A and B are shown apart, each in its own frame.
Chain A
Amino acid sequence: MAPKLPLHHPVEQSSTASAGGQAAAHPAPPRGLMRWLLTTNHKEIGSLYLIFSLTMFFIGGVFALVVRAELFQPGLQLVQPEFFNQMTTMHGLIMVFGAVMPAFVGLANWMVPLMIGAPDMALPRMNNFSFWLLPVAFTLLLSTLLMPGGGPNFGWTFYAPLSTTFAPPSTTFFILSLHIAGISSILGAINIIATILNLRAPGMRMMDMPLFVWTWLITAFLLIAVMPVLAGAVTMMLMDIHFGTSFFSAAGGGDPVLFQHIFWFFGHPEVYIMILPAFGIVSAIIPTFSRKRLFGYASMVYATASIAFLSLLSSGLTTCSPWACRWPASCSSCTPPC
């Protein structure tokens, strides 16, 4: 079976910050802010992801506290319904896209190269770029709270037409920020796949990889499959709001339920995007502390892959058939009837 992992991490290969003395061949990293802005080191970027995630976790947590404080008693005490809805919406968006997803990318940045014996991530500069997109996306998202009419108030699932015809003007910025966060996720996923497939230590087969690496490999494929679908959904919202299309409006030949089908084609796999890396973490912690090997490693790998496949299928079963039928109806709302 699997050869044992090396007892010592290849520290001298992967760290420039803490092992400065050994990295004499490299120029010293810039000091201060520029060091973090320009870093290509997987551990530093991993730390940035984790710190960003924790910050977002606290911000999203404060929004949840506002919600719970208002619900402490029946009736209106602290905030108005309009602001309450903004708090529930922002809490959901920030926790999903700003806290949970970046936390796992940060852990992947830290652990995957160490676990597979790689010197760094395969695409270090893209790694830096995909992190620094996130603060931009979430600054933009949070700034909508200060805009006239307030921020998104239609729930984190932003169902049309509440999120199109009846939404506040700041929805356009919400759409842009989801696009930027989505690009960040896709770039991160590409990087992780490239690292795992190309940079394993010589002799390490796929079935020798720790389960966390496996779960992240599968998660990365899920991300690449569904983030563009989410981008498509918000782009259709943008078109409906600003360019006179009627993808989600029955009055123009579209269908509000089309939005739900497209959204949940992203949303269902998203559940597994957020839980599979955690399965991988548990599968590393429990064997370590019970001092024995994981039971059924191969089955766990197959089960994880099956979950990912079924998650795409299960939304697909409810999605594809009406989706395929309704797509032409939505498109025809743009084109004049013959």
Chain B
Amino acid sequence: MVIGVVVFGVMFYSLFRFRHSKGAKAAHFHEHTLVEVIWTAIPLLILVAMAVPATATLKNMYDPSDADLDIMITGQQWRWRYEYLGEEVAFTSNLGTPRETIRGEGERGENYLLEVDEPLVLPVGRKVRFLITAEDVIHSWWVPDLAVKQDTIPGFVNENWVRINEPGIYRGQCAELCGMDHGFMPIVVQAMEGEEFDAWLAERKEASAQDASGVDREWSMDELMARGEQSYNAVCASCHQADGSGNPPAFPALAGNQALMDERERHIETVVNGVSGSAMPAFRNTLSPVEVAAVITYERNAWGNDTGDLVQPAEIAERLAE
């Protein structure tokens, strides 16, 4: 702003004061080697002087060693998966804003498109190392207030780290165009005091152990359908739509899909291992056996696909163990 005023001020003054109609004569000097050398050398020296401290800071920024906690962050179309390494806690964080709100039905909240169903919970005052990768395409995990912006590359693991000083909610977004719903995969980090975080982590460990035990028992159709609808809407609906109509040709319709209804085995294989060379990801690491079984059961019985098929979590767990 100040620079603009000075530069344009001098320019407009010169244009006005020395205008042709007032008989101004241009001076005809046009070469000066010393001036050219000076105004090349000075910026060069400034750049070199800035590079020295900047390199030292960069070295610190890129040193993720001696972390208290390791978090694996996996970007996928279009959600984030967080895994607390060594703690057996992992969950997927989906967009919290309902689709209807995006379409303009209903009031938009203050954190419209910046809210998730489950935030990443981190402790305050501890060094947290992020191991960052992707399932499908390149995403970028970006939380400006934490000064972290790191590309997630499928097949490669990048590192970054953070030490949060203040408890609170930190929000961010995916920062690398990753397809249709790139704008709908926000990041929310909830920073807690150390003890509070330890209690939270213990509680989550308990819950995931419980979930694991649910694999062995026999589930009823109603239970699977209810659980399946919940997971389907959170994970599958962004491509295949809540009513199963899909978005062909990239995302086939599931409702009334004869191949899907006829081939139970291929249906399970598709959800568990994905379809190589297409946009369909493998969900073997993203969803628990209970969720996979529930989603498949739901897809085989919802929207008039009344096959009556039941897929038990135990069957999926057995397949995953192979």
Contact = CB atoms under 8 A, between A and B. Distances in A.
Interface stretch (A9-17, A47-55, A163-171): A163-171
A296 B103 contact: no
B179 A298 contact: no
A161 B20 CA distance: 59
Interface residues of A, number: 35
A162 B181 CA distance: 13
Nearest to B37: A299
Interface of B: 20, 26-32, 35-36, 77, 101-104, 108, 112-113, 136-138, 153-156, 176-184, 247-250, 277-279
Interface in A137-185: 148-149, 153-155, 159, 161-162, 165-166, 168-169
B36 A297 contact: no
Interface of chain B: mostly helix, strand, loop or mixed: loop
Contacts of A298: 31
Contacts of B108: 74-75
Given A74-B112, A154-B177, A250-B155, 12 more contacts: A74-B113, A81-B184, A161-B138, A162-B138, A162-B178, A168-B250, A169-B249, A250-B153, A251-B155, A256-B154, A295-B30, A295-B32
A168 B103 CA distance: 25
B156 A162 contact: no
A255 interface: yes
A75 B98 CA distance: 11
Interface stretch (A191-199, A206-214, A268-276, A286-294): A286-294
Contacts of A292: 26-28, 30
A76 interface: yes
B92 to A, nearest CB: 19
Closest 4 CB pairs of A and B: A250-B155, A292-B26, A162-B137, A293-B30
B28 A162 contact: no
Given A81-B180, A162-B137, A257 B156 contact: yes
Interface of chain A: mostly helix, strand, loop or mixed: loop
Contacts of A294: 30
Contact of B154 (A153, A155, A250): A250
A77 B26 CA distance: 57
A166 B279 contact: yes
A314 interface: no
Contacts of A165: 136-137, 277-279
Contacts of B184: 81
Nearest to B183: A81
Nearest to B151: A257
Contacts of B138: 159, 161-162, 256
Contacts of B183: 81
A284 to B, nearest CB: 15
